[in-house]
Amino acid sequence: MPGRALVQTGRDWEGLRADFAWPRPARFNIADAVCDVWARADPGRLALRYLRPDGEVRDWTYAQLARASARFGEVLKAHGIGRGDRVAVLLPQTPEAVVTHLAAYRIGAVVLPLFTLFGEDALAFRLGDAGAKAVITDGASLPRIRAIRDRCPELAEIFSIDERQPGIWSFWHELGKAADGGEAVATGPDDPAFIAYTSGTTGPPKGALHGHRVLIGHLPGIELAHEGLGQPGDCLWTPADWAWMGGLANALLPALYHGVPVVAHRMAKFDPERVPSLVAELGIRNVFLPPTSLRLMRQAGVRRVEGLRSVTSAGEALGAEMLHWGREVFGREINEFYGQTECNAVVGNAASVAPVKPGSAGRAIPGHEVAIIDGEGRPLPAGESGEIAVRRPDPVMFLGYWGQPEKTAEKFVGDWLRTGDEGRMDEEGHVFFGARVDDVITSSGYRIGPSEIEDCLAGHPAVVMAAAVGVPDPIRTEAVRAFVVLRQGAPREGLESALMARVRERVSPHVVPREVVFVESLPMTATGKIQRRLLREEAAGGRGPTGAHA
């Protein structure tokens, strides 16, 4: 039967872990696993419900997705895209985004998911670093792609899902001309499938390259979080963009694998008060709601959401108060889980299997080995704080950072993948997140690296040096605050707004500093590194490092 669950419920947590065994297929292709097997077994089965901006709902069956993606796979091949080539997807939650993902997977190409709010600099870096040969986008994002095309020498083909334009291929026109394609190529589990860029604290973002096996690796955690995803009547939606691991690997791909229809509806801006009616109108039974979405719903006074069978969240610890609020609003427990772009969904909760401990992300999911380690890679006893780590090999683990073997090696100590997150584990194996070892900012569910923001700010002619840190925020977990050293004599009037606008346009709106503080100097180490920890501590005290606010 397609979409067979990897975790068989009905046992306690220890029993589930003891009985678990990973499937080890010699051949595995995501397009085949999440689409073609259903198209062959049950072609009329509902796969996608697309709620258009005009309010019209259009349904897609697995057979329709299979045929469209096979044909677009032929389009890509006709345009010189082949096995191993990178295909960028710069689209919101639309059927064309799903079709492009499946088309690329089935011909052995590598998908580069891109966030639609990225500015020109962020797009140019990722497209250039990955060496993308093609990008599929829409009319809203096309001007940014046109503006940076000369900065991406390997970008040969641009497709738009909207109106035809000179020099731009029409997605639907090209698909309409193509012949029906064949089966997915014979990829193995370790063959590359997509590159997910993750923000770090030093240098530009790194591309985490994942193999087709990453879908297999996600299944146990997602199945448990949704209390057995794939029950009759299940239908899943997330407001998380499919360009992120949260939207792609925590929601879209596992749902399609299990034959669960996915609602495609990316709000231009998350509307917390719309959620109850959206769930009722479209028959949504399963949701993945990032913590910021939940907090915004609470802030908006949402009192009840009827009809959901499972509610999941990941990215930040919710805490006892949010869990209690969730029980009252949804009538069920919010199941949290934990991971990161390089190694996701390795710790989690399932209230039907074991009680949820407030403040804990859960226990190691069946199939994953998680420990708290010291700096030498030695597992620590229960109750001691250290770094959360995951043992390799593990199918959910990345293949490595794109083009950066030295950075890949730094991610490991022995066979332990270092998450960069501090935590502790109790006697029962519950993992409690403490703090980040690095300086990544967690805001509205996004992991934001300070380097891109700092480089953008430092590019302004009035700025000598800049630093970005996260400061506590009741809704977003953290808000971005920038500290800026100005050139002598630079005028300050209107500069804060100008710097914010620069980051918004060149990087992305989701990383824009909420506040810019002008200072005389920044705290530095003897080797010239910015001491962001001191900036965070000073910011928590309500002043800049020199006490000088704008």
Q: Provide the residue-wise pLDDT of the chain in tens; the chain has 550 residues.
A: 587 899 987 889 999 999 999 999 999 999 999 999 999 999 999 999 999 988 999 999 999 999 999 999 999 999 999 999 999 999 999 999 999 999 999 999 999 999 999 999 999 999 999 999 999 999 999 999 999 999 999 999 999 999 788 889 999 999 999 999 889 999 999 999 999 998 755 678 999 999 999 999 999 999 999 999 999 999 999 999 999 999 999 999 999 999 999 999 978 788 999 999 999 999 999 999 988 889 889 888 999 999 999 999 998 778 788 899 999 999 999 999 999 999 999 999 999 999 998 888 999 999 999 999 999 999 999 999 899 999 999 999 999 999 999 999 999 999 999 998 888 999 999 998 876 666 778 888 787 878 789 879 988 999 988 889 999 888 888 999 999 999 888 999 999 999 999 999 999 999 999 999 999 988 875 545 678 888 888 777 654 443 333 3
Phi-psi region of 262 (alpha: psi -120 to 50; beta: other; left: phi over 0): beta
Q: Fill in the DSSP letter of residue 297.
A: H
Within-domain flag for 228: no
Task: Report the SS3 class of residue 379.
Answer: strand
Rounded Cα–Cα distance for residues 299 and 264 (Å): 25
Rounded Cα–Cα distance for residues 449 and 201 (Å): 5
Rounded Cα–Cα distance for residues 445 and 21 (Å): 31
Within-domain flag for 179: yes
Whether the Cβ atoms of residue 133 and residue 157 lie closer than 8 Å to each other: yes
Task: Report the SS3 class of residue 467.
Answer: strand
Last residue of a domain, one of 188, 211, 231: 188
Whether the Cβ atoms of residue 247 and residue 238 lie closer than 8 Å to each other: yes
Within-domain flag for 204: no
What's residue 550's pLDDT? 32
Please measure the distance between the N-terminal and C-terminal CA atoms of the chain and give it in whole angstroms. 63
Within-domain flag for 547: no
| Total-model pTM | 0.87
Last residue of a domain, one of 154, 188, 222: 188
Rounded Cα–Cα distance for residues 205 and 440 (Å): 11
Task: Report the SS3 class of residue 407.
Answer: helix
Whether the Cβ atoms of residue 133 and residue 84 lie closer than 8 Å to each other: no
Within-domain flag for 494: yes
Rounded Cα–Cα distance for residues 223 and 352 (Å): 12
Range of the domain at 534: 441-540
Rounded Cα–Cα distance for residues 300 and 278 (Å): 16
Q: What CATH number is given to the structural domain containing 180?
A: 3.40.50.12780
Maximal CA-CA distance, the chain: 71
Last residue of a domain, one of 169, 188, 207: 188
From the number of C-beta atoms within 10 Å of its C-beta (0-12, 13-18, 19+), residue 40 rates as middle
Q: What CATH number is given to the structural domain containing 531?
A: 3.30.300.30
Whether the Cβ atoms of residue 235 and residue 282 lie closer than 8 Å to each other: yes
Q: How many CB atoms lie within 10 A of CB 157?
A: 18
Within-domain flag for 482: yes
Q: Fill in the DSSP letter of residue 148.
A: H
What's residue 545's pLDDT? 43
DSSP track, 155-167: --EEEESSS-BTT
Whether the Cβ atoms of residue 545 and residue 519 lie closer than 8 Å to each other: yes
Whether the Cβ atoms of residue 256 and residue 47 lie closer than 8 Å to each other: yes
What's residue 144's pLDDT? 97
Within-domain flag for 14: no
Rounded Cα–Cα distance for residues 306 and 381 (Å): 43
From the number of C-beta atoms within 10 Å of its C-beta (0-12, 13-18, 19+), residue 176 rates as exposed
Total of domains in the chain? 2
Q: Fill in the DSSP letter of residue 89.
A: E
Within-domain flag for 241: no
